[in-house]
Amino acid sequence: MNAKMDTASLIYSAKTGIIDLLLRLFDKIVITEEVAKEATRKRGRPDADLIYKYIKEGKIKIVKSKLIASYSLGLGERSIIGLAANEPKSEYLLFLDDRKARAFSAALGIDAVPIYAALFIALKRKIISLSSAIVMLENLNQFARYPGDKIAEIKAIFRLIERGEL
C-alpha cells in the first residue's frame, strides 16, 4: 500500500521526522507534480531539502494528475485528490491535513486522514512506543497547531491502542 500526500502533510512529516516512519509503514510515498513543486519550493530549508533528497533517491514518487475543480482548495490538495479519485482505494491511504480538504474528499467518496493517523498505525503495529507517539505528536503540533482538545483526544486514542482496546 502507498501513502498519497498533499503538500501540508508532506512538509509536516518532513519537519517532524514522521516521513521516515511513513517510509517504514508504506511501500512508497506518492505525490503529484504540484505537491512536489510546493514542497520543495523553499530549498535550503531542512524539510524542503529532505523531501528533494527522498525524491531523488526514489523514496518519494512523483506522478502526474488531473486537478479536481475546487475554488476552496490549493493546487496540491486538488491534484492529490484527483489522483486518488482515479485509483482503487485498496492501493493507498490518502493523507490530507486540512479539514476542508478531507471533507471535500469524503464528498467524492474518497477516504482521507490527517498525518497524525500514521502514528495510530505505527503504534498499533508496535513500530513505535506510546511515549514515542506522544513526542511525535507534540512535534507535529508545533507546525499543524491542532486545537488542545484534539491533542487530548489523540493521546487518549494512543492509550487505548497501547492497551489493546482498539
pLDDT at 38: 97
Give whole-number Cα distances, 117 to 33, 67, 141, in Å: 24, 25, 13
Q: What does the buried/exposed string (b/e) look like for 125-134 if buried means 16 or more CB atoms within 10 Å of the residue's CB?
A: eeebeeeebb
Pairing of strands 92-95, 2-5: parallel
SS3 state at 31: strand
Query: In a 10 Å sphere around its CB, with 0-12 CB exposed, 13-18 middle and 19+ buried, how is residue 31 labelled?
Result: buried
Q: Is 39 exposed, middle or buried (0-12, 13-18, 19+ CB in 10 A)?
A: buried
**What pLDDT, in 10s, does the model give residues 98-115?**
999 999 999 999 999 999
Side-chain-side CA neighbours of residue 159 (13 Å): 6
* pLDDT in the model for residue 142: 95
Low-confidence ranges of the chain (pLDDT < 50): none
Spatial distance between the Cα atoms of 33 and 86, rounded to a whole number of angstroms: 16
Match domain 2-115 to its CATH number in 3.40.50.1010, 3.40.50.150, 3.30.2130.10, 3.30.70.270: 3.40.50.1010
pTM above 0.85, yes or no: yes
Burial of residue 63 (CB within 10 Å: 0-12, 13-18, 19+) is middle
Give the pLDDT confidence score for residue 108 in this predicted structure: 95
Q: What is the 3-state secondary structure (H, E, C) of 50-106?
A: HHHHHHHCCCEEEECCCCCCCCCCCHHHHHHHHHHHCCCHHHEEEECCCHHHHHHHH
Q: Please, where in the chain does CATH 3.40.50.1010 lie?
A: 2-115
